[in-house]
Structure 1
Amino acid sequence: MQELDFHKYASYSKPGPRYTSYPTAVEFNPSFQEAELLEAFKRADKQIPLSLYFHLPFCKSACYFCACSVIYTNSQSKKERYIGYLAKELELLRSHLDTHREVVQLHFGGGTPTFYNAEQLDRIIANIKNTFSNFAKDAELSCEIDPRHFSLEQMQVLKKHGFNRLSFGVQDFDPQVQVAVNRLQSVDLVQEKVQIARDFGITSINFDLIYGLPLQTIKSFETTLLEVLRLNPDRLAVFNYAHVPWVKHTMKIDPKTLPSPQEKLALLQFLIGFLKGHGYEMIGMDHFAKKDNELYLALQNKQLRRNFQGYTTKKFSQTIGVGVTSIGEGQDYYTQNFKDLKRYEQALDSGHLPVERGVRLSGEDRLRKEVIMHLMNNLELDFHSIEKAFNIDFKTHFKDALNALKPYEQEGLVAISEGGLKTSPTGAMLVRNLAMVFDAYLGVQSGARRFSQTL
């Protein structure tokens, strides 16, 4: 990787999407309701498998870096009530969807999924499997883990039901950083909980880390990374901290303690070099994997995909989002459940799927989605394959986008040839910026209040 002029490259930082979807969630609109979702279910290709995402929203306390849709509570009755509403939603899905279709992914996100005790998790999973009965033998069953709320009994339940991937929220091991973001957990605690997973034969363990947190320095982050190496995860997701002061609890972070864009770039360049030097290769935008990991192998074969559950080697699947705020995805639509728990419950009480908003994709949306997602996933584009799939001339159709990439090309961040484009190792750090030139919606809206900074 070339040496960076940090002041120069920090100037590339701008508000921009992370492209977990295209069109992005800001384009979802309330005109897409339950009737539109049911029509989407009817026209969906029944040969395409299903992917299930369950949002379990409860947390005991706020982590100040988190901008997720969560509900803070210590109430057992609230969790029990939510289990009941998940059951109602599953029953409605059973009446509108062929739940005998093959399931290739199941993911528990949150919130803190392991804030539910072992018996509660057992009931939730049993109900899911009673509804969706056809899980593929090689299905990915994954769960986000807060080490502070993870027990041997919970691991026994997850193993019993076939879960094979766990993602541990680590973020940073530095005590000062942990205090600043209200997330206290020792290295010993994380090691103990990872060992529980290893003892049960879990061979795919991911750690979530964050760079750009308050008080974080290259020296302190190196100490965290050395501890991470000792715990030997199979994959790493190292996210860029997005300070979104319009989310209430992030206001508790003092902006003066945050690294500058230049310092964040230095952190990013350091961690990429450090991890590469210790056997972890960069996968897509912010993920790293060992060279024998299936994600790295999929990247080499240009077969890496990304959905709301993260990176995967699976082919496209129709995502069914269950629970408050969950997002579903089909070939030509996105849908999102109510974010407000009361409205979510009211919809189910009235016998309706809790659809708050969504979007149906046009042909142009689907084309640009393919371009943006492939670039985000594989850090390159093959013009000919896109031309063949969508019957276009790439350079003519995307003339404006390719012109917008010329400054990046002149800086050596992307190489454009007759047949495609490919990011440089440094350009990969700016892949969100590169993808943005293909986004047809950014020119007609102001992103400053909608998106986090790209660096």
Structure 2
Amino acid sequence: MNTHLIQKYNVPGPRYTSYPTVPYWDETPPTESTWLANVRATYEATRHQGISLYIHLPYCERLCTYCGCTTRITVNHAVETPYIDAVLTEWQLYLDALGEAPLIKEIHLGGGTPTFFSAAHLQRLVRGLTRGARLSPDADLSFEAHPANTTDAHLQALYDVGFRRLSLGIQDFDPNVQRIINRRQSFAEVQAVTESARNLGYNSINFDLIYGLPLQNAHTMAQTLAYTAALQPDRIAFYSYAHVPWLKPAQRSFEAFLPSGEAKRALYEQGKQSLEARGYREIGMDHFALPTDALHRSAQAGTLHRNFMGYTPHQTQLLIGLGASAIGDAWTAFAQNPKAVEPYLESLRAGRLPLQKGHVLTDEDLVLRQHILALMCRLETRWNPLLPENEVLNQAQERLQELEDDRLIEQGPGYVRVLPEGQPFVRNVCMAFDARLWNRRAASPLFSQTV
């Protein structure tokens, strides 16, 4: 990897799970009636696709200091029942608004630590979600789990209600790295959960790994990759560590031990080479999958999709987010719930959707969203350069001149293609299309580094 290019393009930038990105949403959020009007319109236009559900379960028993997610740290498990009651109440408000039993294509339980909740409570949650809906025969049901607290009872309870995909948050196997980020699970624990899940019938197991963590080096990364290869997960999310200490002050505790930009990227290249040598294929940005996995098949078929849950093989235009901090996506509008649990619960007790912020997309937003999504999923995009509404895309190409000069992209009238050498810089390519970022440059940091 060219260190000059890393230094040149390693700037703060979004991960583009949406466009516009959350910091550039309108200051005045849509009303509940406006949000639900957008939800209903998208549902009626795309009901044949089915919908996706994301449920945010924010509780953790301990703080992982690297984590940038919205969490609530507690050892009080009495919070489980009222929280699940609230999520099911919120879901009923959406069912009432849709007026019929929707087809569910996808359910993902994220956090926080979903396995903070008991197996019985998680099963009750899922049964409550599906009771008023129809579950697609090929629905993709998945959950995130901490290897150190995921029991056979968790795996069995969720398998019994249709879950077949499991995502294990590992980050790194090295004990020194685990210690400094306060995230500890042994190889034996990971192996036990992986093997139990496979024996039950889970057919897609993902490992979350992170490069760029404090104390990581080539040796520790080789060890983590060897342990990973021994268990051969179907997918691997090999994320870049997002250093955002202005949002997550706990990250300041290890700033002196973070690898530099060049060293960080070298860890990714090491991981990529190791994974590809073992039969994995790179998918989009920061993801790898075996050829037998649905994520790889969708990438090959050109149907890969990206939303607030990350990459998914299912293209649904309506994503309903439930739980504190969850974000809903109606394609034409976004809405986010309060991040704190208390105002989330209070809104539902009052009988209203707990909406705190959101955005209704303009015509220009919708055009740009389509092309940023194409770049993130297929590494290329095309348009008719003669149409007046595409002038904003033609302007974006002017910002890409340096990346073209550096042979990271290929472009011409009405198209941009990310070259293999440019794939590490796909976020930079998308930033050229981000009109809101260019029109309203932030005075304070908003995003992690792109490389």
Equivalences, count = 446
Corresponding residue number in structure 2 for 1:136: 136
Pairs within 5 Å for 1:272-283: 272-283=272-283
- CA gap of 1:91–1:418, structure 2 versus 1, over 3 A, is closer
Q: Partner residue of 1:194?
A: 194
Cα distance in 2, alignment partners of residues 242 and 331 from structure 1:
26
Note the 1:282-361 alignment, pairs <5 A.
282-361=282-361
User: Which range is displaced more, 231-240 or 411-420?
Assistant: 411-420
In the TM superposition, 1:211-226 aligns within 5 A as 211-226=211-226
8 A contact 1:67–1:250 mirrored in 2: no
Q: Tell me which residue corresponds to 1:258.
A: 258
Aligned pair 1:9/2:6, yes or no? yes
> How far off is 1:249 after superposition?
4.7
Amino acid at match of 1:438: F
Give how far 1:118 is off: 1.1
Cα pair 1:285 1:376 within 8 Å, conserved:
yes
Q: What is the CA deviation profile of residues 314-357 of structure 1, one whole-angstrom value per residue up to 9, with x for unaligned ones?
A: 22331111111110011200111111211111111111010111
Kept in 1, the 8 Å contact 2:368–2:393? The answer is no
Separation (CA, whole Å) in 2 of partners of 1:59 and 1:45: 34
Distance 1:301 1:153 in 2: 36
Find out whether 1:64 has 2:62 as its counterpart. Answer: no
5 Å-filtered alignment, 1:157-236, equals 157-236=157-236
- Counterpart position of 1:435: 430
Quickly say closer, same or farther: Cα 1:12–1:224, change in 2 above 3 A: same
What residue in structure 2 maps to residue 416 of structure 1? 411
- Residue 17 (structure 2) pairs with residue 43 (structure 1): no
SS in 2 for 1:185: coil
Report the residue type matching 1:432 in the other structure.
R
* In 2: Cα distance, 1:158 partner to 1:440 partner: 42
Corresponding position: 1:76 with 2:77: yes
Q: Is the 8 A contact 2:39 2:318 kept in 1?
A: no
Letter in 1 for 2:321: G
- Quote the Cα distance in structure 2 between the aligned partners of 1:442 and 1:326: 23
Following superposition, the deviation at residue 8 of structure 1 comes to: 3.7
Distance 1:453 1:425 in 2: 20
CA RMSD across the alignment: 1.8
SS at match of 2:435: coil
The equivalent of 1:112 in structure 2 is 113
Letter in structure 2 aligned against 1:428: Q
Write the deviation string for residues 74-100 of structure 1: whole angstroms up to 9, x where unpaired.
Answer: 112112221221232123222222351
Asked if 1:23 is matched to 2:20, the reply is yes
- Is structure 2 residue 403 aligned with structure 1 residue 403? no
Partner-residue secondary structure (3-state), 1:216: coil
Percent of aligned pairs with the same amino acid: 37
* Structure 2 CA distance for aligned equivalents of residues 311 and 399 of structure 1: 27
Tell me, in whole angstroms, the C-alpha distance in 2 between the residues paired with 1:221 and 1:381.
34
Query: Which piece of structure 1 moves more, 229-238 or 403-412?
Result: 403-412
What residue number does 1:372 align with?
372
Q: Which runs of 5+ in 2 are unaligned?
A: none
Q: 1:392 to 1:203 in 2, by over 3 A?
A: farther
Runs of 4+ in 1 over 4 A off after TM superposition: 391-394
Instruction: Write out per-residue CA displacement over residues 208-228 of structure 1, whole angstroms, 9 at most, x where no aligned residue.
Output: 000000000122101100110
Matched, 1:446 2:447: no
Question: Whole-Å Cα distance in 1 between the matches of residues 360 and 268 of structure 2?
Answer: 36
Provide, for residues 250-283 of structure 1, a one-character-per-residue CA deviation record: whole Å limited to 9, x for no partner. 3353211000011111112222222112111110
Are the structure 2 counterparts of residues 418 and 248 from structure 1 closer, same or farther at C-alpha, using a change threshold of 3 Å?
closer
Asked if 2 retains the 8 angstrom alpha-carbon contact of 1:206 and 1:234, the reply is yes
Letter in 1 for 2:442: S
Tell me how far 1:286 sits from its aligned partner: 0.8
Query: More deviation in 187-196 or 121-130?
Result: 121-130
Q: Offset at 1:445? A: 2.3
